[in-house]
Amino acid sequence: MVGIVIVSHSKQLAAGVRELAAQMVSGDVALAVAAGIDDPDNPLGTDAMQVYQAIESVYSDDGVVVLMDLGSALLSAEMALEFLTEEQCEKIYLCEAPLVEGAIAATISAAQLNSIEQVLAEARGALTAKAAQLGIDVISDTLISPQNPPLVNDREAKEHSRTDNPYTLQIQLTVANRLGLHARPAARFVTTAAKFQAQIRVRNVTRNTDFVQANSINQVATLGVRQGHEIAIAATGIDAEAALAALQELVTNNFGEDDSDLIPTVIDSSETVEGELLGIPASSGVAIAPIFQYRPTTVQVEEYIVEDTANEWQRIQTAIQTATQDLQSLQSANQLGDKAEIFSAHLLVLQDPALLEPVHQRIFSHHQNAEFAWKSTIDELAHNFDTLEDAYLQERANDITDVGQRVLRSLRGITTPTIELTQPSIVVATDLSPSDTAQLDTTKVLGICTTRGSATSHTAILARSLGIPAVVGVPAAILHLANGTLLAIDGASGKVWLEPDTDTIARLQARRNAGLQARQHAQVTAHQPAITRDRKRVTIAANIGSVAEAKIAIKNGADGVGLLRTEFLYLNRTTAPTEEEQFAVYQAIAEVLDRRALIVRTLDIGGDKPLDYLGLRAESNPFLGKRGIRFCLEHQDIFKTQLRAILRASHGHQIKIMFPMVATVQEVQAAKAILAQVQTQLRQANIPFDESMQVGIMVETPSAVAIADQLATEIDFFSIGTNDLSQYVMAADRTNSQVAMLADALHPAILRSIEQTVQAAHSSGIWVGLCGELAADTLATPILVGLGLDELSLNSQAIPMVKRAVSELSTVEAEAIAQRALKLDSANRVRELVSSFYTNEEVERKTQR
């Protein structure tokens, strides 16, 4: 197989390109990176010895393709060849293709076991698809060779589909996935086609394109297939029928993509009446309140000539550093949960050499001032996104502008604006940036109404995460309304009412109140213990990932923290966090909790959440790879640093420690031995810690369930992680839309695993909790209580409702429901069982009243 080397000045850029390319293929393509230099103050650069070592690591007699970004990268690559033998040098090809697109195209071609000539041709033609989508005519003879024939026109296609050829077949399909045949689906299409001997061609019927080779990522991408487009696939050869069947299944299954987070932009087609406007539903919920017109001011700049270019470049660097710190604070100190990762994309924009290089050139070559050089580059990049045909990609222009304005404010010393309201209101604006949305006061902002945006925008995603009703794409007439005008919005239908009449208000309020009443009642009693009617107490704890989330958990009535995810301390940085950094965070969270319990899960990192600064290789199946406790046992320096920080923070607090991804007794024993070493070191240094600290494990692998009785003798508690346990028991990747429905935690197979674990724990005299998403599902509460769980740990927002659900149960009826559920044969039947229980309970309560 052809090997591929990526040479870049930026280690982060190279790692990102490698990750992106690796995601495009299912095969194990040999990809190596040679990037950056070991200088903390100036890490950008290239090293010939690194390039040589990277080539050596992927060397193959089939050849090695070396892709470089710019400048000294080419020089370093050329110098690296001097360390190789003459015979090896003949197999090395320095390729002039664009780094990102070339790496992706070359990787996909290499995964098909193509020759070095074919891989080079694909890499060199990588810009063809982009040029075609932008309407630029690119003539490239690099794509035409005996190994890679020219595009096939309709006449030739008809010749190949003659009825007298018994091996020629053709099908016509509609592409249904929301983003069409973009990078990953195109890659899956190409790699699937390459598995067959048949000659396969494809054309976009909707756009009336010519047929192209189905095994070329560049040619397939030029078809510009979008959602709803029809494609024709023709296959000629002995396995043509099997090839078309495989491709048809791929297209039918949306290329394995999950569109669930991209909610459809469906507008109610019913006619509106006077006083009503129709927009795009972006975040469900009803809001009725006076409007607040938000008109953010953008930083305007002028161009002037500067002589001290070095100073201007330093100003840019300082502003970017400030903006980076602001984004990191925004990412870690909000209520957005995993949606805060949106700001990881903003951070990557600030680190992108493709953005910084033009700014550098404008300053040093054209002597432009920092503000003008930055804004010109940002505007150009945002325009490139905004003019794309793909609506989803168009929305990324808003993110680019948001980042750009943040840096401009830093350059000018302007404080980041916030939306400050004197009364509960619906915010009306042309648009809101992700930064604006993330900082909204949810007690004052009852709704969002904008004239721009879509349901796939990051602003809409953040609004949904914050639980704020939102309608976007509303007619611009709404911008002319005076502040204080009464407005009503329905984020589910996209309807907006201007000064609604009393009947409309009553109808909308009834709908809103029905949903709020149960939550409000639960919130009132949220700080009371969760005790069943027959006096059994169940601890209700929170899953958190920051100090801010700890505060939210306490506000929502958490009895403690059942899972502190510590990964947030390690991600989005270039070095591991120090002991002091970790200690400060753990101690701060413990102080927020006062004497409530805090269970700290040790670093749960691996192939699915790689740390670039450790140089971890991508794994073909990361969920079954080196993650959790496996990673920590191999990287004991990182593990011991974290253990020391946790132990030190435990002094005077109720902190417990928990090891993730345990599969064997030996792993637990090894982790405990390392913990004992750290404890001994602290004692010798007279550093206090909780000597009676409890140690537990996550039960999230089938093997841990099977040997739960043995594991229970080694530790103090179990915490069942149903998210991972479900996918492992059901052999179904929960991130794969084709099989994710199988990984249902209410399936009797999972419930029986929970029962077995609880019984093993209680038999050994230890307690057991559950910290998967199942804990937040009130439909599952009777079963979990009936199975005997001592603790449920869940997202903070769900705590009041789960506490209320526990208080309405008796253990006798809960145990009866659980035992019936264990005997059923599907998750759907389990849901029907619990739903009927709640219905009967409601009828009984009404009868008693």
Given 453, 470, 505, the domain boundary residue is: 505
The overall longest dimension of the chain from CA atoms, in Å, is 92
Q: Is residue 521 part of a domain?
A: no
Please say if the pLDDT value at position 86 is more than 70.
yes
| CATH number of the domain where residue 497 is located | 3.50.30.10
Both structure tokens of 325: 């710190």
Task: Give the sheet arrangement for strand 31-35, strand by strand.
Answer: 31-35, 3-8, 64-68, 92-95
Nearest-angstrom CA–CA distance, 420 and 439 = 10
Please say if the pLDDT value at position 272 is more than 70.
no
Nearest-angstrom CA–CA distance, 628 and 605 = 6
Nearest-angstrom CA–CA distance, 294 and 479 = 9
Task: Verify that 402 and 478 share a domain, yes or no.
Answer: no
| 3-class DSSP state of 414 | coil
- Is the CB of residue 386 less than 8 Å from the CB of residue 400? no
Q: Is residue 628 part of a domain?
A: yes
840, burial (CB in 10 Å: exposed 0-12, middle 13-18, buried 19+) = exposed
Task: Verify that 329 and 400 share a domain, yes or no.
Answer: yes
Q: Mean pLDDT over residues 235-247, rounded?
A: 86
Q: Mean pLDDT over residues 473-485, rounded?
A: 88
Rounded to the nearest integer, the mean pLDDT of the chain is: 82
Task: Verify that 53 and 185 share a domain, yes or no.
Answer: no
Radius of gyration of the chain (CA): 29
Task: Verify that 57 and 127 share a domain, yes or no.
Answer: yes
Task: Verify that 763 and 811 share a domain, yes or no.
Answer: yes
282 pLDDT tier (thresholds 50, 70, 90): confident
| CATH number of the domain where residue 326 is located | 1.10.274.10
Q: Which residues form the domain of 823?
A: 530-848
Task: Verify that 341 and 195 share a domain, yes or no.
Answer: no
Amino acid at 623: F
Q: Mean pLDDT over residues 69-95, rounded?
A: 84
Please say if the pLDDT value at position 9 is more than 60.
yes
**Which letter does DSSP use for residue 149 in this model?**
P
What was the pLDDT predicted at 90? 87
Please say if the pLDDT value at position 33 is more than 60.
yes
What does the H/E/C string look like for 688-707? CCCCCCCEEEEECCHHHHHC
Total-model pTM: 0.50
Q: Is residue 523 part of a domain?
A: no
Q: Is residue 470 part of a domain?
A: yes
Q: Is residue 8 part of a domain?
A: yes
Q: Mean pLDDT over residues 802-818, rounded?
A: 93
Q: Is residue 264 part of a domain?
A: no
Closest CA to 143 of 224, 212, 62, 63: 212
Q: Minimum mean pLDDT among 73-77, 233-237, 499-503, 644-648: which range?
A: 73-77
Q: Is residue 510 part of a domain?
A: no
Nearest-angstrom CA–CA distance, 144 and 103 = 19
Nearest-angstrom CA–CA distance, 399 and 348 = 11
| CATH number of the domain where residue 237 is located | 3.30.1340.10
DSSP structure string for 564-615: EE-GGGTSSSSSPPPHHHHHHHHHHHHHHHTTSEEEEEPP--BTTB--GGGT
Task: Verify that 761 and 834 share a domain, yes or no.
Answer: yes
What was the pLDDT predicted at 421? 85
Q: Is residue 728 part of a domain?
A: yes
Closest CA to 781 of 791, 796, 795: 791
Task: Verify that 728 and 596 share a domain, yes or no.
Answer: yes
Task: Verify that 682 and 754 share a domain, yes or no.
Answer: yes
- Model confidence over 413-437: pLDDT tens digits? 887 667 778 899 999 988 887 777 7
What was the pLDDT predicted at 461? 67
Nearest-angstrom CA–CA distance, 264 and 456 = 8
Task: Verify that 493 and 590 share a domain, yes or no.
Answer: no
Tell me the percentage of the chain whose pLDDT exceeds 70: 82
What was the pLDDT predicted at 549? 83
Closest CA to 293 of 428, 113, 143: 428
For the chain, the domain total comes to: 5
Contacts 24+ apart (CB under 8 A), 741-745: 744/827, 745/772, 745/773, 745/774, 745/780, 745/827
What does the H/E/C string look like for 416-479? CCCCCCCCCEEEEECCCCHHHHHCCCCCCEEEEEECCCCCCCHHHHHHHHHCCCEEECCCHHHH
Both structure tokens of 123: 């890499």
Residue scoring higher pLDDT (500 or 131): 500
Q: Mean pLDDT over residues 345-359, rounded?
A: 77
What was the pLDDT predicted at 693? 96
Examine the residue annotation and report whether 346 is marked as an active-site residue of this protein: no
| CATH number of the domain where residue 588 is located | 3.20.20.60
What was the pLDDT predicted at 389? 46
Task: Verify that 561 and 615 share a domain, yes or no.
Answer: yes
337, burial (CB in 10 Å: exposed 0-12, middle 13-18, buried 19+) = middle
Examine the residue annotation and report whether 458 is marked as an active-site residue of this protein: yes
Given 489, 505, 521, the domain boundary residue is: 505
Given 379, 412, 445, the domain boundary residue is: 412
Active-site hit among 458, 635, 653, 747? 458
How many other CB atoms sit within 10 Å of the CB of residue 848?
6
Task: Verify that 314 and 289 share a domain, yes or no.
Answer: no
Evaluate the CA torsion angle 753, 754, 755, 758 in order and state its sign: positive
